[in-house]
Chains A and B, each alone.
Chain A
Amino acid sequence: MMFAAATAALVVAMLLALVRALLGPTVYDRVLAVNSFGTKTVLMIAVLGFLAGRPDFMDIALLYALINFIGTLAVLKFFRYGDMARPGGRPTAGEGD
């Protein structure tokens, strides 16, 4: 029963993150909201794994956490450098040409 309550709380938090993703004036608000939504999804998968009695969900949750992190960094790199193909090590305070 407490897993259901935890899931309900997670759904509420996810909706709030989606509200910020829609409202966010700047693009970085949206990236932040989606990143936060991703970590909540990891927790949701873990708690649903317990709810459904499926211990293999923990691997899915771990994988989702990894992919969410990589996805956030990829999107940030895209916004920062305009495309993905730039060599690394550019001066961080440089212009984003």
Chain B
Amino acid sequence: MDMLLDIISGVLLAAGSFFIIVGAIGLVRLPDMFARMHGAGVTDTLGAGLFIAGLMIQGGFTLITVKLFMILVFFFFASPTSSYALANAALSQGEKPWTRESDNTNDNKEDSSSKT
């Protein structure tokens, strides 16, 4: 039984790590700040969720699992709120989302290297 729990938490930890790295790669490669927020969101929700689920299984029925669940609940509420605040602050300061059309019109203003 213990072996099974270790395997399950191992799989969950591996999946969580995978999505954390995918989110981090999305944070780096995506062309625009608003697109990168999607990458950060993947890390926050799926990556952290699977990761903490894996740890909770390792923790068993102890206080540790309750605290990990509290972290998960807080992420559940805090992540969308901070993403909304960031997008709202950026939009109100005149930050235009990247679109296919806007890409070739303002190519001269911004160097294209930041767009790759």
Given contacts A13-B23, A16-B27, A62-B71, contact A55 B43 (CB under 8 A): no
Taking CB as reference atom, which chain B residue is nearest A49? B64
Chain B residues, Cβ within 8 Å of A85: none
Whether the pair B28, A16 counts as a contact (CB closer than 8 A) is yes
Residue among A36, A59, A61, A76 having the largest count of chain B Cβ atoms under 10 Å: A36
Q: How far is the CB of A6 from chain B (nearest CB, A)?
A: 5
Q: Mark A73-97, 1 if CB is under 8 A from B, else 0.
A: 1001101100000000000111010
In this complex, how many residues of chain A approach chain B with their Cβ under 8 Å: the count is: 49
Q: Mark B33-71, 1 if CB is under 8 A from A, else 0.
A: 100110110011001100110110011001110011011
Partner of A36, one of B10, B21, B43, B75: B43
Q: How far is the CB of A34 from chain B (nearest CB, A)?
A: 10
Give CA–CA (A35, B14) in the complex, Å.
23
Whether the pair B28, A19 counts as a contact (CB closer than 8 A) is yes
Whether the pair B28, A36 counts as a contact (CB closer than 8 A) is no
Whether the pair B67, A62 counts as a contact (CB closer than 8 A) is yes
- B107 close to chain A: CB less than 8 A: no
Give CA–CA (A32, B79) in the complex, Å.
11
Whether the pair B71, A32 counts as a contact (CB closer than 8 A) is no
Q: Mark B70-96, 1 if CB is under 8 A from A, else 0.
A: 110011001101100110111011010
Give CA–CA (A43, B20) in the complex, Å.
10
Whether the pair B51, A6 counts as a contact (CB closer than 8 A) is yes
Whether the pair A33, B27 counts as a contact (CB closer than 8 A) is yes
Partner of B27, one of A36, A50, A66, A77: A36
Taking CB as reference atom, which chain B residue is nearest A78? B89
